[in-house]
Chains A and B, each alone.
Chain A
Amino acid sequence: MNNPSAWKKFFAHLRTWLIGPRWQTALIETVRTLGAIVIAYLIAFVIIALVSDDPQNAIRWFVLGPLSSSAERGEVLKNATPLLFAGIGACLIIRGGHFNMFTEGAFYAGGLIAALAAIYFDLPPALAITVPLLCGMAGSMIVGFLPAKLKTAYGVNEFVSSIMFNFIVLWVGVWLISNVVIDVSSGDNATRPIPDPSRLPILVRDTNVTVGILIAVAVALLAHLYLNRTKWGFAVRMSGDNPHFARHIGIPVAKAGTHSQVIGIGIAGLGGGVEILSNYRRFNWKTLPGYGFDGFMVAIMAKNKPLMVPYAALFIGYLRSGADLMAFNSDVAQEVVQIIQGLILILVASEAFFSSSWLRNRIGALKFRKKPDESGSEVADHV
């Protein structure tokens, strides 16, 4: 690198990269998302100011509360973990061009199956965690295959059928924990306690953060590799972006669609297992956990990019923690946060808001203001 021409080349590369459309798109999308968040928060503040007698206190808990102590910060991570799994699952499903809501049922099924496997299989300590998690994942994938296959083979709308499957799974599960695997001594419709060796170890002392979050981040990385570096992920993306083109280059579109849905559902199922083995003594869910639906929100915020999901999940986790703290420490109801989440989603998802061509025009105009000898002649060659 001592060679001056090598440096020159390096800077030329850096420059094309910096002013290239890719970087511009990333910048625009980040600005858009941040802008949406800021506006949504401003609106939230107005609402809080209207409903609260002491808005200052409420806003302080809402905004700064989640960051105030290590226990609170841990709570943010704990809240973010299931959202991460659900978000990555939703990413894969959406990228394949589908809208399969069975991530919700998969969370339930994954949790239930993982709990049952931990309780009823007599597992050696070394396998006490992995086997239940894998069982939960595999179980939810098997169930999730049905709505996925119904869509790709018969054109049954996966949105509707997957929501129906959610309820089938829920009520089968409730029936099981009320009649078959019920532990009467718990005083609840719940399973027997999950044995200690199967519980995920705590990662940060004095918090509820378990190694689950590491698994989640690893899954995000793997999902990124899968989508961008493998032929399967390529098939999934092309089928999702433009099925006509995918068919044209010989990709079996239906197969790729099933593929992506089942894998996305498996990740959600894994998330259910991690959630149960991290935070619950017994499996006692009698409603759907809601994480599957949240996953789609997270995925949309992350623009369906697995590597962006952790940020989106952390943000939603932070928002949830703040809402809990505000509800606990002030006179503002927790429902307010649902309004804020709705606002953010609307703002982030709406393409009209800060439409990219609007911003691109501003950025493009900046370039023309430069003196011609700086960029003019060289850039024009690319046209």
Chain B
Amino acid sequence: MTVPILRMQGICKSFGPGIIAADDVTFSVNRGEIHALAGENGAGKTTLMKILYGLEKAQRGEIFLHDRRITINSPKDAMSHGIGMVHQHFMLVDELTVAENVVLGIEPRRAGLFDRKAAEHLVRSLSERYDMPVEPTARAADLNVATKQKVEILKVLARNAELIILDEPTAVLTPQETKRFFEQLKTLRDLGKTIVIITHKLPEIKAICDRITILRKGRTIGTYFVSDISESEISRKMIGTEPPPERFPQADSAGLPRLSVRHIWCFGPHGKAALKDMSFDLRGGEMLGVIGVEGNGQRELVGVLTGKIVPDHGNVILNEGILPSSLSSIRKEGVSFIPEDRMNDGVDLDASIEENVTALLRQNRDHLVGPFFKSRKLSVSGRRLTEGFDVRMGSLRDSIRHLSGGNMQKVVCAREIDACGTVLIADQPTRGVDVGSLRTIHDQMEALRAAGKGILLISSDLQEIRALCRRAIILHQGTIAAEIDDLSACSEEELGLYMLGIKRQEPVSPEVAHE
């Protein structure tokens, strides 16, 4: 009979009044199962796991491990109880090797010095036992995302974790990589490890998890056997209403080209070409998807379009003129830009929600008298934008730091979509965002497209691009591996083959070939 290895009871956590992340949450996990912790963003999944891992402190509640009550004040405590966590954003030191990263903080020593041989041996034996092939001497910087994830899991295993928490592990993986990753998780489970996956992707829950606990607004809705509950039931319990209907992109009302990229070449710091002879058009009234495994030129492409990188060859035509060289003048042409890195580029964590959502309006003449702000008008605009995007918050004047990731992203999207005059460049606009927020953001982007603006959607989520775009380009190693005119006619497997560079489309567009 299965016994709970871990039980969390009556957990309460608030980040200041009005922002309750956990309200009397109960959560229990059995030994040797894969347990999904599901819920919208801001439902409290990550917070609950951070409490378990000692990164946050609960104000009330108890944690029992093997029916013994324990207190966890730091990740070190959690580790000593055999609890390990892999974060959504990897925490590897790029300059160090895989082995060095794995043993960081628990270095094997010989004669008081770091014993590299022992470290590499440890990594090798772990990766064999758990079927996670990694080269211990490789540098972390040179690894691809999937391998980095393996290293993170090895890091946890090296610390003798029995219970492994994975925060949105598949957000950065291609469909093929995800499949492989799931097999590895099953191996781990069969070897007696217990796994908790924080996720909101329903197919994955169905594919791999044994049980599921659903959270909504900081409360436990219930724990179910995955085999006993349907996807739509899970979704209903997560968001409290019917799941969003699957969207099929309408035929694009193709307008004039708003943004034309012509034979762009970009060379990286070591002379390696990051973009090779890339050309495409973005028309008004269309949403063009950019598909590709991360690190295949997306960052450089966005860098060129936002004036951060000057292409070494080729040019970009924006609204029939040459793309200006600075972001502020590009913005003056009506381009707005949802950045990939929300925390760094998207918001000022020290400023209020209102200041963040009106940051662009604050440079706009309508909201200024001379150099002074029209405070009332700004707060009206702030309220209009946050309400339009259904940002769940206490007060507009609160620091944006207190918002959950999904709500923070809605603030960013509200600001950029509102300011969009001609073209929107959306770089991973819904990464790590819950179903409800995702729907709001998608609706608003779709409305913007219908209003005749051109949208370039860069996303690692294939489902997102398939739901919103009709046309897409697939990047592989800085080139366009394929240009798909009708996504609905192309299977996911085929897209995966293009993404991995196994298959390529011959350059057919005469314009690209001859110009």
- The number of A-B residue pairs with CB atoms under 8 Å apart is 131
CB of B168 closer than 8 Å to a CB of A: no
B211 CB, nearest partner CB in chain A, Å: 25
Which one of A189-197, A341-349, A361-369 is at the B interface? A361-369
Interface of A is mostly: helix
Can you report 9 A-B residue pairs in the complex whose CB atoms are below 8 A from each other? Answer: A22-B398, A229-B372, A234-B362, A238-B359, A241-B348, A252-B328, A379-B18, A380-B20, A383-B44
Chain B contacts with A in 26-65, Cβ cutoff 8 A? 42, 44, 57, 59-60
Q: Which residue of B lies closest to A250 (CB)?
A: B328
Q: Which residue of B lies closest to A246 (CB)?
A: B348
CA distance A237 to B341 in the complex (A): 20
CB of A120 closer than 8 Å to a CB of B: no
CB of A251 closer than 8 Å to a CB of B: yes
CA distance A253 to B399 in the complex (A): 22
Which one of B151-159, B275-283, B389-397, B487-495 is at the A interface? B389-397
Residues of A within 8 A of B345 (CB): 244-245, 247-248
CB of B331 closer than 8 Å to a CB of A: yes
CA distance A360 to B399 in the complex (A): 15
Q: Which residue of B lies closest to A239 (CB)?
A: B348
- A382 touches which one: B18, B331, B347, B349 (CB < 8 A)? B18
Residues of A within 8 A of B59 (CB): 361, 364-365, 368
Residues of A within 8 A of B44 (CB): 383
- Report whether A382 and B351 are in contact in the complex, using a CB–CB cutoff of 8 Å: no
With A231-B373, A238-B348, A245-B344: A16-B20 Cβ-Cβ less than 8 Å = no
Q: Which residue of B lies closest to A378 (CB)?
A: B18
- Report whether A383 and B19 are in contact in the complex, using a CB–CB cutoff of 8 Å: yes
- A248 touches which one: B218, B327, B368, B394 (CB < 8 A)? B327
CA distance A376 to B17 in the complex (A): 11
- A230 touches which one: B14, B337, B372 (CB < 8 A)? B372
The 4 closest A-B pairs by CB, nearest first: A250-B328, A21-B16, A19-B17, A382-B18
CB of B360 closer than 8 Å to a CB of A: yes
Chain A contacts with B in 323-372, Cβ cutoff 8 A? 357, 360-361, 364-365, 367-368
CB of B355 closer than 8 Å to a CB of A: yes
With A21-B402, A229-B372, A383-B42: A364-B16 Cβ-Cβ less than 8 Å = yes
CA distance A251 to B360 in the complex (A): 9
Chain A contacts with B in 214-252, Cβ cutoff 8 A? 229-232, 234, 237-238, 241-242, 244-252
CB of A124 closer than 8 Å to a CB of B: no
Query: What 1/0 flags go to B266-277 for Cβ under 8 Å of A?
Result: 000000000000
CB of A130 closer than 8 Å to a CB of B: no
Residues of A within 8 A of B392 (CB): 382-383
CB of A161 closer than 8 Å to a CB of B: no
With A245-B346, A250-B331: A16-B18 Cβ-Cβ less than 8 Å = yes
- B344 touches which one: A20, A230, A242, A361 (CB < 8 A)? A242
CB of B363 closer than 8 Å to a CB of A: yes
Q: Which residue of B lies closest to A234 (CB)?
A: B362
Chain A contacts with B in 16-55, Cβ cutoff 8 A? 16-17, 19-22, 24-25
CB of B112 closer than 8 Å to a CB of A: no
A380 CB, nearest partner CB in chain B, Å: 6
Residues of B within 8 A of A237 (CB): 348, 351
Residues of B within 8 A of A247 (CB): 327, 345
CB of B264 closer than 8 Å to a CB of A: no
Chain B contacts with A in 162-216, Cβ cutoff 8 A? none
- Report whether B368 and A231 are in contact in the complex, using a CB–CB cutoff of 8 Å: yes
Other than A245-B345, A248-B345, give 9 A-B pairs with Cβ distance below 8 A.
A22-B397, A230-B372, A231-B371, A232-B371, A238-B348, A238-B359, A247-B345, A250-B360, A364-B15
CA distance A380 to B12 in the complex (A): 12
CA distance A107 to B337 in the complex (A): 44
Chain B contacts with A in 352-389, Cβ cutoff 8 A? 355, 359-360, 362-363, 368, 371-373, 375
Residues of A within 8 A of B363 (CB): 231, 249-251
CB of B285 closer than 8 Å to a CB of A: no
Q: Which of A20, A229, A247 lies at the interface centre, i.e. has the most chain B CB atoms within 10 A of its CB?
A: A20
Residues of A within 8 A of B423 (CB): none
Residues of B within 8 A of A367 (CB): 14, 17
- B328 touches which one: A251, A364, A380, A382 (CB < 8 A)? A251
Residues of A within 8 A of B42 (CB): 383
**Number of interface residues, chain A, beta carbon within 8 A:** 38
B442 CB, nearest partner CB in chain A, Å: 22
A63 CB, nearest partner CB in chain B, Å: 36
With A16-B395, A238-B359, A244-B345: A230-B18 Cβ-Cβ less than 8 Å = no
CB of B217 closer than 8 Å to a CB of A: yes
Residues of A within 8 A of B327 (CB): 247-248, 250
Residues of B within 8 A of A20 (CB): 16-18, 394-395, 397-398
CB of B21 closer than 8 Å to a CB of A: yes
CA distance A46 to B18 in the complex (A): 44
Residues of B within 8 A of A248 (CB): 327, 337, 339, 345-346
Residues of A within 8 A of B20 (CB): 379-380, 382-383
CA distance A19 to B394 in the complex (A): 10
Residues of A within 8 A of B14 (CB): 364, 367-368
- A249 touches which one: B218, B360, B397 (CB < 8 A)? B360
CA distance A365 to B15 in the complex (A): 10
A276 CB, nearest partner CB in chain B, Å: 31
- Report whether B19 and A21 are in contact in the complex, using a CB–CB cutoff of 8 Å: yes
- A242 touches which one: B23, B337, B350, B398 (CB < 8 A)? B350
CA distance A285 to B283 in the complex (A): 68
With A361-B57, A383-B21: A24-B16 Cβ-Cβ less than 8 Å = yes
B73 CB, nearest partner CB in chain A, Å: 12
B357 CB, nearest partner CB in chain A, Å: 11
Query: What 1/0 flags go to B235-260 for Cβ under 8 Å of A?
Result: 00000000000000000000000000
With A20-B395, A21-B402: A379-B17 Cβ-Cβ less than 8 Å = yes
- Report whether A242 and B349 are in contact in the complex, using a CB–CB cutoff of 8 Å: yes
- Report whether A229 and B373 are in contact in the complex, using a CB–CB cutoff of 8 Å: yes
CA distance A24 to B402 in the complex (A): 12
Q: Which residue of A lies closest to B306 (CB)?
A: A248
B248 CB, nearest partner CB in chain A, Å: 33
- Report whether B399 and A22 are in contact in the complex, using a CB–CB cutoff of 8 Å: yes
Q: Which of A248, A250, A252 lies at the interface centre, i.e. has the most chain B CB atoms within 10 A of its CB?
A: A248
Residues of A within 8 A of B16 (CB): 20-21, 24, 360, 364
Residues of B within 8 A of A246 (CB): 348
With A229-B373, A242-B348, A245-B344: A365-B60 Cβ-Cβ less than 8 Å = yes
CA distance A249 to B348 in the complex (A): 11
Residues of A within 8 A of B397 (CB): 20, 22
Residues of A within 8 A of B341 (CB): 244
B205 CB, nearest partner CB in chain A, Å: 23
CA distance A376 to B20 in the complex (A): 10
Q: Which of B14, B375, B402 lies at the interface centre, i.e. has the most chain A CB atoms within 10 A of its CB?
A: B14
- Report whether B217 and A231 are in contact in the complex, using a CB–CB cutoff of 8 Å: no
- B217 touches which one: A17, A249, A380 (CB < 8 A)? A380
Residues of A within 8 A of B402 (CB): 21
Chain A contacts with B in 233-285, Cβ cutoff 8 A? 234, 237-238, 241-242, 244-252
